[in-house]
């Protein structure tokens, strides 16, 4: 395959899903993972509490072995949380769960994208911390043609496991792209420009995420609180950066007055 898909000569790029991350990582200085209604919002909530979060791409028996090896608690699926295993991919559940210093967070989307990043720096971004991520990237010199950033919208899965592009992740990615551009990053690829425009031209992002397919799915399943937390716009200055296999706190610089 040639390199036509790499969006070269652009400092800020955009793609979808684990396959997109794998294809783009070879030419990226930094990957920003965006999984708004699941993985990356959960990462911000956990890291805010002081937890180191280890991503893991499979939710099977190997996850327990991995967690034991890392001396970490193991998060379960939203519907599998119990008093004995209170940590899950639900941001609301993580806020209520007892503190754990180390947590393995299996996720077939967010964690799989993280695993595909190779040697690139990996940042967890969402609607809660988009401005903070933009400031952090700019401060560390990412977002130029020489040190390009690829923002990856995780998307969801159809029953046949094909990628379902998800509005909430497009908006989260657009928010981060807009924030980085406002700090001098660029130029934007056409793909990144369209993602930015979708965010900037959405009059009510909270309502859009709440009423979109993924938001309705969570609300009907009893997880409306997760949607509410995921749409706490600009509420977090935490920038989780993958270091030694785990996301941990990396405070963003505050905006100029």
pLDDT tens digits for 108-143? 888 889 988 776 799 999 999 999 999 999 999 999
Smallest CA-to-CA distance from 43 within 98, 137, 114 is with 114
Predicted local distance difference test score (pLDDT) of residue 256? 38
Q: What is the pLDDT of residues 23-58, one digit of tens each?
A: 999 999 999 999 999 999 999 999 999 999 999 987
Q: What is the percent of the chain with per-residue pLDDT over 90, rounded to a whole number?
A: 83
Tokens of 95: 């806020």
Q: Is the pLDDT of residue 254 over 80?
A: no
The mean of the pLDDT values for the chain is: 93
Tokens of 135: 């400031």
Exposure on the CB side of residue 136, measured as CA atoms within 13 A: 24
- Rounded to whole angstroms, how far apart are CA atoms 105 and 42? 9
- Rounded to whole angstroms, how far apart are CA atoms 122 and 218? 27
Give 80: exposed, middle or buried? Use CB within 10 Å, 0-12, 13-18, 19+. exposed
Task: Quote the pTM value.
Answer: 0.94
Average confidence (pLDDT) over 194-198:
98
Predicted local distance difference test score (pLDDT) of residue 250? 66
Smallest CA-to-CA distance from 131 within 236, 27, 213 is with 236
- Rounded to whole angstroms, how far apart are CA atoms 66 and 70? 6
> Phi and psi of 199, rounded to 5°?
-70, -50
Predicted local distance difference test score (pLDDT) of residue 216? 98
Q: What is the pLDDT of residues 202-248, one digit of tens each?
A: 999 999 999 999 999 999 999 999 999 999 999 999 999 999 999 99
Provide the pLDDT confidence category of residue 145 given band limits of 50, 70 and 90: very high
Tokens of 97: 């769960």
- Rounded to whole angstroms, how far apart are CA atoms 175 and 133? 10
Q: Give the residues across from 106 on adjacent strands.
A: 56
Predicted local distance difference test score (pLDDT) of residue 60? 80
> Phi and psi of 158, rounded to 5°?
-75, 165
Domains for the chain: give ranges and CATH numbers: 9-238 (3.90.1560.10)
- Rounded to whole angstroms, how far apart are CA atoms 199 and 205? 7
Find the DSSP H helices in 118-240.
Answer: 130-139, 167-182, 190-200, 205-211, 213-220, 224-230
């Amino acid at each position: 395959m040639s390199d036509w898909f790499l969006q070269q000569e652009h400092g800020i790029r955009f793609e979808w899903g684990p396959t997109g991350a794998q294809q783009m990582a070879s030419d990226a200085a930094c990957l920003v993972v965006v999984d708004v209604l699941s993985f990356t919002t959960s990462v911000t909530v956990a890291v805010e509490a002081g937890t180191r979060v280890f991503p893991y791409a499979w939710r099977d028996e190997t996850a327990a072995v991995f967690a034991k090896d890392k001396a970490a608690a193991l998060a379960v699926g939203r519907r599998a949380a119990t008093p004995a295993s209170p940590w899950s991919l639900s941001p609301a559940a993580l806020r209520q769960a007892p503190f754990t210093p180390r947590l393995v967070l299996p996720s077939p989307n967010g964690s799989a994208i993280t695993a595909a990043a190779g040697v690139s720096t990996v940042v967890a971004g969402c609607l809660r911390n988009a401005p903070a991520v933009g400031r952090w990237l700019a401060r560390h010199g990412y977002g130029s043609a020489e040190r390009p950033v690829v923002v990856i919208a995780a998307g969801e899965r159809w029953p046949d496991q094909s990628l379902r592009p998800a509005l909430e992740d497009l908006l989260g990615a657009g928010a981060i792209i807009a924030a980085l551009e406002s700090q001098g990053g660029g130029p934007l690829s056409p793909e990144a420009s369209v993602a930015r425009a979708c965010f900037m031209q959405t009059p009510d992002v909270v309502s859009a995420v709440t009423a979109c397919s993924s938001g309705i799915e969570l609300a009907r399943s009893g997880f409306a609180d997760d949607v509410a937390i995921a749409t706490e716009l600009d509420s977090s200055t935490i920038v989780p950066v993958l270091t030694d296999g785990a996301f941990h706190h990396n405070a963003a610089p505050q905006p100029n007055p």
